[in-house]
Structure 1
């Protein structure tokens, strides 16, 4: 509004705003083009429950043209740009800015309704793949953007309707003066010059029309548009920022501070703001609650688990040192597994996926020469029987002089081997401990066939330097594997390869060589002394 000349004027910044709006229209155009290559589920297959996916380009195009193409085309059409760049410039000087206002008021809300309809479909998950956003953060952000968009729409409509109210007040004043050409006075196109200002002098001197910009003492009741009257004369940035603020404020307060007049359209607009605010608050607060619950769910589960463990340790009267070790083990187990029962999760998946996941978990077996021969079936058999285990810092995986009842494959962390003489050897990721158990089983099968209970004792202690994640093959499972693949494993070259890769066997061989060498040196010394005496 041009307050000094008391007329409605068409903005000279419309070209820049049109270019900015074209960017959003380009996004909808890309969306439209994408739909011609977006596969869909055959509706007939849904009835029988097969859910066949159609990916033929011709069928996809025909399906889209018969479906949502018209709506998407209406959403994408640059109606605003066409009006501002083509239709409205031809009207300047005839019906001008007032005509432009009416065109914008008629077309923009219609196109916005279609765009919001498409946007709500995406939020509701009615897309080709059934969902849009999986993470809690993404859902929170997208719902916040919906709130921003709603504030933008409500604020823009409020400013547009406020502009219409000021325009109506000027028309009423012009009619009261019995002026026959009110459109020429109220509509000043892109602005007026000095010569036009002389013709408008009677209109400019009218005191009644001047009260249209006086919301306190004026005769026209603006109702909820009272703040927009003087806003119409501000800069473009101020107009938009304040309108956006007004939209946010009314949606947040459910239009609690608005007192509309008896105008039906004003009352309906206020009711629409209240309904939209209720809808958005239900949507936003509900999703924020889900978001916060998703963040705190694991933490609550961890706290409940910790509480149960503390109650159990108190009931069993465990000593404080043992309680400290239990707490440390529980924390490490929770951090490593994120509270997920891995075995239960795997058991619910199809068998082929389970096999692929286990192969991914146990890819460290490829580094072991024995399991590199996947064609033998030994690799799959071992993968199927490995169990995931966690060990905390300071724990002994194997203890010296205790029975070896498992083979441990270290996946993550550092361990050390403590020999009988107290010497330590560092072991890193990929190390194998207790592999002598495999050789023992093979030797038992190579004997008279009588199976006896395992009596192999560890000759070293395996201690965790850091928290360790490992996979374990128990002796009972190992027995089944060796029985199933006895022909392969009893091959002398295979046994030699196992012993060569085994740190225990290499240590035992080194000790045996040293003992033999010392015995040989003693015999040579004794023989030399005997020869000297003779």
Structure 2
């Protein structure tokens, strides 16, 4: 019996810790407050205790932030089923492909086991025992990894073909179905590649079949054993396809990809050189056997061709080695194998003959076998044809892949060169002046240095919203928090601002905005310096200049416009002229994005924000400075007028005192001097003129004082109209 319920499951990132309520008992209010809640219909079996089975395990996965796809993750390793797209399977495929390449390099070394003893005048066939031990050791290690790969494939899930209609598809977790599918598909090839056939042949079959007549023939069995090389080589291609499907590429860097393709080409040269050496040994011994059968006088036996003590008498009397020496005039034709005998490659130690054979294979593979001079021997001609075909195919494949990987390193640079050339052609066609051309060139050059041709906005646009928000938060949050007004906001609104910021580049001498032009964006400076100046609308006698540095911002008129409850469609005019002093990198917040954030933020009803905005706004600072200067001038004017009024009052008092004195003098002396009233009248007129001139000067100062318009008051309390 199944109990079907609709549950609400919340997913959080690793960096955020949330309080999880028990399964099925989360309050609705908590769910409404969760910003990332998703409805997931679940059909879960009911356990014996009446609760939904497996709930504790699932909630634990959510708390730890790890993706627990399968319940088998808690089971022992021997019973665990692996996800084919998981990181552990991907890492194993990368490790296994390395050991596959090692095994492919080790197997051709069996061709170097037969070697010749003595010299060209007295030779014999033997086996290099030290090389046989070393090659067997490395081959056994590689076989262990092939065996582990078979075991892992028995425990790796696969995607049901019928579920690939939409999305990734459904994984089949049944071990029996996985085993049945694997046995029917790739198990036989993997089994053949895993079997230790060369070790069995070299250490068991050859010693068991050794006879005085056939020992020199058994060395060629290594060529038959290496038929196992074909399935091992085949395994490289599905492994590469699986890695490409999971990550998009085999190697993580372009140089590693080029090295990988070059390594495959060197592998082909390695195999070709080893095969040439073994065929040279076989061709040389064929001459021995032919002459030995024809030689009757010395009683030649095929057993004398092996290195043994019983051949001492025969080797001193025979002419087989002399007649098979290509340095003499002989009838036997070695063809493409002549250098191996003439240059004593077959008599050299392992290191010398290996590097010579590798060089021979690389040389003829790259030249498609054009320098080969073959004999009429069919086997030799077939080998030369194979070299020509393989060289043509592999060399073309190498050049194509190397070009692809190396071009990926410079594709951005080449695109920039083409764009720069098109820009030069366009400027020449439009006959732009030289100063404008230099500005365009500086901008294109600086944009390349800053971005390396990468379109950051396109990359971010293709990412999921949550990941894009986290990246923008990492890039912009510290910069936005430097703005004191935005530092008062909560994290949710800061995320909204960071998500809407776009990068902006400006070269030296670029005008960001001019006084009187509409303000379209608000800039937050990352690096560089800008000059911000204002003339208060072009009034004579007014100029204000400040320098903006990293952490500052400009375009605050747009913020005041966005905070207005009934802002018009027309953008505000700039009160300042902003020009870049050097190369400037900044983040820009466009008008429509700022309007959205401001509408959300105004609902907080914070008067503190109004004072913060006034304090850090350059427009408000300029207005405040002008307001303080005007108030100071008014104060000085009032003090001056007060002083002049006091002086005028003092002068009138002097006149009145003089009149009183005159009356007293007239009372005591009728015949006094009559010129005194005229002098007092003259002093009064002078004081009146001085006071009038003072008032006229004060009015003149008031008229010359420019008026700076007060910025619009942002409203933090009124709700926006719906």
TM-score per shorter chain, which class? 0.7 to 0.9
Contact 1:391 1:464 in 2 (8 A): yes
1:177 Cα offset (Å): 3.6
1:218 aligned onto 2:334: no
Determine if contact 1:404/1:458 at 8 Å carries over to the other structure.
no
Deviation, structure 1 residue 478: 3.1
Instruction: Tell me the CA shift for residue 119 of structure 1.
Output: 2.4
| 1:6–1:210 Cα contact (<8 Å) kept | no
CA contact (8 A) 2:513 2:574 kept: no
User: Residue in 1 aligned with 2:510?
Assistant: 395
Q: Does 1:80 align with 2:190?
A: no
**Aligned-pair Cα RMSD in Å:** 4.1
- 1: distance between equivalents of 2:337 and 2:570? 92
Mapped partners of 2:194, 2:620: distance in 1: 74
| 1:492 counterpart = 2:607 | yes
1:213-263 superposed Cα distances (whole Å, 9 cap, x missing partner): 335523332222222223211222121111111111211121112233333
Structure 2 residue 350 is the aligned partner of structure 1 residue 236: yes
Q: Which residue of 513, 524, 528 maps to 1:409?
A: 524
Matched with 2:233 is 116
3-state SS of paired residue (2:117): coil
Map of 1:470 onto structure 2: 586
Equivalent position of 1:263 in the other structure: 377
State which of 330, 333, 339 in structure 1 corresponds to 2:444.
Answer: 330
Q: How many residues align?
A: 516
Q: Which digits, 9 at most, give the CA deviation of each residue in 1:382-414, with x for residues without a partner?
A: 45544432211232334456554421122x422
> Measured at CA, do residues 475 and 524 of structure 1 come closer, stay the same or move farther in structure 2, by a change above 3 Å?
same
Cα–Cα, structure 1 residues 389 and 168, in superposed 2: closer, same or farther, change >3 Å? same
* 1:250 match: secondary structure: helix
Which stretches in structure 1 are left out of the alignment for 5+ residues? none
Q: Is the 8 A contact 1:151 1:247 kept in 2?
A: yes
For 1:453 and 1:286, the matched residues in 2 are separated by: 57
Residue pair 2:524, 2:552 contacting (<8 A) in 1 also: yes
Task: Give me the whole-angstrom Cα distance separating, in 2, the residues matched to 1:476 and 1:308.
Answer: 33
After TM superposition, give the deviation of residue 470 of structure 1 in Å. 2.2
2:360 aligned residue:
246
> Closer, same or farther in 2 for the Cα pair 1:376/1:422, shift >3 Å?
closer
Partner of 2:124: 7
Instruction: Give the direction of change, closer, same or farther, for the CA distance of 1:131–1:303 in structure 2 (3 Å limit).
Output: closer
Q: Deviations over 1:102-159 (max 9, x none)?
A: 2212112x12222222224445667662642465433322221111111100110010
Deviates more, 1:311-320 or 1:393-402: 393-402
Q: Does 1:106 align with 2:221?
A: no
CA contact (8 A) 1:8 1:98 kept: yes
- When residues 128 and 215 of structure 1 are mapped into structure 2, their CA distance, relative to the original with a 3 A threshold, is farther
| In 2, Cα distance between equivalents of 1:103 and 1:23 | 22
Distance (Å, rounded) in 1 between the aligned partners of 2:362 and 2:417 = 39
Over 3 Å counting, the alpha-carbon distance change for 1:277 and 1:120 in structure 2 is farther
1: distance between equivalents of 2:245 and 2:466? 26
Asked whether 1:144 is paired with 2:262, we answer: yes
What runs of 5+ residues in structure 2 fail to find an aligned partner?
A: 1-115, 535-542, 651-722
CA–CA distance in 2 between the matches of 1:44 and 1:458?
66
Question: What is the CA distance between 1:23 and its match in structure 2?
Answer: 5.7
| Counterpart-to-counterpart distance in 2, 1:131 and 1:314 | 42
Q: Which one of 432, 438, 443 corresponds to residue 318 of structure 1?
A: 432
Give 1:304 deviation, angstroms. 3.0
Partner of 2:306: 187
Cα deviations by residue, 1:36-90 (Å, 9 ceiling, x for unpaired) = 66664433334x3543263859479635555434433433444334444555566
Please give the alpha-carbon distance, in whole angstroms, between the structure 2 residues aligned to 1:373 and 1:510. Answer: 23
TM-score by length of 1: 0.80
Contact 1:174 1:209 in 2 (8 A): no
**Structure having the higher Rg:** 2
TM-aligned CA distance change 1:183 to 1:354, over 3 Å: same
SS at 2:220's partner residue?
Answer: helix
Match of 2:398 among 261, 265, 284: 284
1:435 corresponds to: 556
Q: What residue is the counterpart of 1:163 in the other structure?
A: 281
Offset, 1:271: 1.7
User: Contact 2:507/2:584 (CA < 8 Å) preserved in 1?
Assistant: yes
